[in-house]
Amino acid sequence: MSFLDQIFARLDSAADQRLLTELRESGAAPVTGRELLGMISQARAFLASRGLKKGDRCALLAPNSIRWIAADLAIMAEGLIVVPLYSRQAPAELVAMMKDCSPSLICCGDATLREAIVQNWREAPPQVLFDEIFSSNTQRARKPQVENSDVAAIIYTSGTSGEAKGVMLTAANVAHILQCTSEQLDILMNHRPDQDRVYQWAPLNFAAAWITTLTSLLRGSSVFMNTDLSKLAGELRTVAPDYFVNVPALLERVRRAVDEQLWKTAGIVRTIYTKAKAAYMRKHEGRASFSDAIWLALANTGVFPTIRKKMIGSNLKALICGSAPLSVETQLFFMMLGIPVLQVYGLTETTAICTLDDPRHVEPGRVGPAISGVEMKLAENDEIVVRGPNVFPGYWNRADETAKVLRDGWFHTGDQGEVNASGNWKIIGRIKNLLILNSGHNIAPEPIEDEILARLLNAQHAVVIGNGRSYLTLIITGDLSAEQVQSALDAVNPTLPHYKQVRAFRIISEPFTIENGLLTANGKLKRDLIAQRFDPQIEEMYTMKQSSTA
């Protein structure tokens, strides 16, 4: 039985249960299991009418919606390969991906998206709107036409250092990950899956968000879908989810916002919060005193519960965080408030997941043990390599690129890591991001950047520069003064060996965004492009520093 068979069976058994709810400006719009099955059957009938063959690619370009999910499931059920794309990405980049995978059909959420594609690709294959797909009265309810060995989806990588590659994921890849995620969520939810309340805000074209949604459908959970990110904070309080998937950038912003708001609050509340926060950190480091216990007791009585309820509601059992390493300070901040943060590590090539924190044993700063059935070890340069049923069969139409990362049965992740005696992994950084000074020292920039950002409330992004140079410098964005940045460096540098210390910096007024091409579609830094864009400022840092020390 394929994962689609299992999901459809769950939808049928939850025919009258409200499984998906779209949170719109006009109000909540829910659908039951029966209604979702009807939408899927409707979309399958439309696809069947187009004369598509098994294995044909079908691009899916739309913002998050219930219809997105129905179309996704329908495409796979017809034996087609779904290619989910990011609706906010630049049309030229979207067209490049579609030219790579040659879709037979492009399913667009609205006419604006379709027009953007046509303007950039005159020879584009047929495009259809969701309104057309879901307007037919015909339905198609035959058994899903997918086998475990079939490619179910092609998900494009973010392309941090080059052209995006299409990651082929089989039905077997997806089935294994859904089983593993459901088992871990069973532990978190005390084996009561049909009571899960899940908030979904991340774009569904990203592997982690896609897997989360499929897991929720398999479990019969109640999923509440954001359609406007500006309403995220209010929706969280209204929905009061049991858990939801996050990225580090969001949790960092929340932590900084709470710190900033509490700092502006006068009187005893600010005093208790400040004292308790420092006490919690000392407790974590094994340096707690008697007075620390008093301050923590006061905060746990009134301050922390108030913050927690105001932020996320009263039901939250855990935050699930992935896509990049989360700073230990931020993870401890939420744990201090009584909110466990479960870290996940994985890549699109591993069907989004390799490791997942055990809810019963979380080690801050680590991303948990390898999931069931998956092997992980360290190779040359402490690179993490993985093998197991979650590993993809290859990149679409890129045999050479596949051969580079799949060697002797192991997938080479490109990530540098370490593992402790408990089997819990820690991610150091990307090997391709390593900076090699002209002294020969190899430096992972991410930990240094995280330490600097943790000390600057209004900072947005930090990029450490230094490859082939004699020392490190820093590009940083945000509403910052030179004095604030220097103060952060004065705190961080003494904790580092001399070759890891940042010697100069420049504050950049231009933010790094997806739209200006300096961030990938899932918010990761495009380091090479940033270095190119700000080459004059970088050269100035090295020229001025050398002149001042000559």
The counts of H helices and E strands in the chain are 19, 25
Checking if the pLDDT of 329 tops 80, the result is yes
DSSP letters for 229-276: GGGHHHHHHHH--SEEEE-HHHHHHHHHHHHHHHHH--SHHHHHHHHH
Q: Which of 189-203, 226-240, 384-398, 511-525 has the highest mean pLDDT?
A: 384-398
Mean pLDDT of 68-95: 95
Checking if the pLDDT of 79 tops 60, the result is yes
What pLDDT score was predicted for residue 159? 64
Distance CA 221, CA 199 (A): 10
What pLDDT score was predicted for residue 115? 95
H or E segment to which residue 37 belongs: helix 33-49
Checking if the pLDDT of 160 tops 70, the result is no
Q: Which residue's entry shows tokens 């939808």?
A: 11
- From 111-115, 336-340, 434-438, the region with the lowest mean pLDDT: 434-438
What pLDDT score was predicted for residue 547? 39
Mean pLDDT of 10-37: 95
What pLDDT score was predicted for residue 336? 94
What pLDDT score was predicted for residue 136? 80
CA end-to-end distance (rounded Å), the chain = 72
Full-model pTM: 0.86
Mean pLDDT across the chain: 91
Distance CA 106, CA 535 (A): 39
Contact 459, 452 (CB under 8 A): yes
- From 159-168, 324-333, 486-495, the region with the lowest mean pLDDT: 159-168
What pLDDT score was predicted for residue 545? 56
What is the CA 295 to chain-centroid distance, rounded? 35
Checking if the pLDDT of 376 tops 90, the result is yes
- From 236-240, 305-309, 436-440, the region with the lowest mean pLDDT: 436-440
If pLDDT is split at 50, 70 and 90, which confidence band does 548 have?
A: very low
Share of the chain above pLDDT 70, in %: 97
If pLDDT is split at 50, 70 and 90, which confidence band does 194 have?
A: low
Distance CA 182, CA 317 (A): 15
Mean pLDDT of 16-39: 95
| pLDDT digit string, tens, across residues 242-260 | 999 988 878 888 888 888 8
Q: What is the 3-state secondary structure (H, E, C) of 64-127?
A: CCHHHHHHHHHHHHCCCEEEEECCCCCHHHHHHHHHHHCCCEEEECCHHHHHHHHHHCCCCCCE
| pLDDT digit string, tens, across residues 501-517 | 999 999 998 889 888 88
| pLDDT digit string, tens, across residues 467-512 | 888 899 999 999 999 999 999 999 999 998 888 999 999 999 888 9
What pLDDT score was predicted for residue 549? 35
Distance CA 120, CA 118 (A): 5
Taking alpha carbons only, the member of 162, 215, 210, 529 closest to residue 348 is 210
Q: What angle do CA 9, 57, 106 make, to 5 degrees?
A: 100
- From 2-11, 109-118, 285-294, the region with the lowest mean pLDDT: 285-294
Contact 392, 220 (CB under 8 A): no
Mean pLDDT of 20-25: 94
Q: What angle do CA 42, 48, 53 make, to 5 degrees?
A: 145
Mean pLDDT of 287-297: 89
What pLDDT score was predicted for residue 395? 97
Mean pLDDT of 46-74: 96
Domains and CATH numbers, the chain: 3-173+195-230 (3.40.50.12780), 248-314+316-431 (3.40.50.12780), 434-549 (3.30.300.30)
- From 97-106, 139-148, 205-214, the region with the lowest mean pLDDT: 139-148
Checking if the pLDDT of 398 tops 90, the result is yes
- From 370-374, 395-399, 520-524, the region with the lowest mean pLDDT: 520-524
Share of the chain above pLDDT 90, in %: 67
- Tokens at residue 296, please? 């923590």
